[in-house]
Chain A
Amino acid sequence: GNSVTQMEGPVTLSEEAFLTINCTYTATGYPSLFWYVQYPGEGLQLLLKATKADDKGSNKGFEATYRKETTSFHLEKGSVQVSDSAVYFCALGPSGGYNKLIFGAGTRLAVHP
């Protein structure tokens, strides 16, 4: 079945460092791909998405490119801030059928000043 694998955390970075969080997926068809962020004590917020191969999603300085050849959707940011500290989830959307998301286990990011 469909699945998502994320790099394990925690990821600890200094402010202004470069961030990469790896995400790979297994799926049939042409799913949509998402990154969600969860700040402490809160629900999930959509960070960015891509709906087809080679699409680049971007938001708030974060980017991810849908790579079908490597089945990957890695999250990157050129310069992280303390306020980016959160848990990041890669998720797989449907390529057909009803609107169900499959999430990875999440990667905790801690950014220090």
Chain B
Amino acid sequence: ETGVTQSPTHLIKTRGQQVTLRCSSQSGHNTVSWYQQALGQGPQFIFQYYREEENGRGNFPPRFSGLQFPNYSSELNVNALELDDSALYLCASSAGTSGRNNEQFFGPGTRLTVL
């Protein structure tokens, strides 16, 4: 069984640029959630995708957008990068969208640095 994978591992961008981060979900999982973890803080929920549709969103501006593909992999896109976007971006997959037993499995993250 392959776990959650993310690419790239590290990325350096400058203010105003755009970035795309990628996530492959665990086998058998149809739901992907994205989280932003700033240095020294806990992860913050960005949004969730289920069957290629956005299923819920946290308190992030529209320049954070995403996609989910038919194979349930996902992309996170951030436009007009700001310095505060520097963070570890975590992807998590699960076998469903709701219910207390839908454990989320996390990938290793992508470290984004905005200069």
Interface of A is mostly: loop
At the interface, yes or no: B2 with Cβ under 8 Å from chain A?
Answer: no
Q: Which residue of A lies closest to B91 (CB)?
A: A43
Q: Which of B35, B94, B104, B105 is most buried by chain A, counting CB atoms within 10 A of its CB? A: B104
CB-CB under 8 A for A103 and B102, given A43-B107, A44-B90, A98-B56: no
Q: Which residue of A lies closest to B105 (CB)?
A: A46
Q: Which residue of A lies closest to B110 (CB)?
A: A43
> What B residues does A100 contact at CB under 8 A?
33, 45, 48, 56, 58
Interface string of B10-42 (1 = CB under 8 A from A): 000000000000000000000101010000111
Question: Distance in Å from the Cβ of A32 to the closest Cβ of chain B?
Answer: 4
Check if A89 sits within 8 Å of B42, measured CB to CB.
yes
* A93 vs B102: C-alpha distance when bound (angstroms): 9
Question: Distance in Å from the Cβ of B5 to the closest Cβ of chain A?
Answer: 10
* A94 vs B104: C-alpha distance when bound (angstroms): 12
At the interface, yes or no: B66 with Cβ under 8 Å from chain A?
Answer: no
> What A residues does B55 contact at CB under 8 A?
98
Q: Count residues on chain B whose CB falls below 8 Å from chain A CBs.
A: 32
Q: How many residues of A sit at the interface, in one of the four size bands?
A: 20 to 34
Q: Which residue of A lies closest to B55 (CB)?
A: A98
At the interface, yes or no: A102 with Cβ under 8 Å from chain B?
Answer: yes
CB-CB under 8 A for A44 and B98, given A89-B42, A101-B45, A105-B41: no
Check if B100 sits within 8 Å of A32, measured CB to CB.
yes
Interface string of B38-66 (1 = CB under 8 A from A): 00111111001010000110100000000
* A42 vs B107: C-alpha distance when bound (angstroms): 8
> What A residues does B101 contact at CB under 8 A?
32, 51
Known: A98-B56, A100-B48. 19 other contacts (CB 8 A): A31-B100, A43-B4, A44-B92, A44-B106, A49-B103, A51-B101, A94-B98, A99-B31, A99-B48, A99-B94, A99-B96, A100-B33, A100-B45, A100-B58, A101-B35, A102-B45, A103-B35, A104-B42, A105-B40
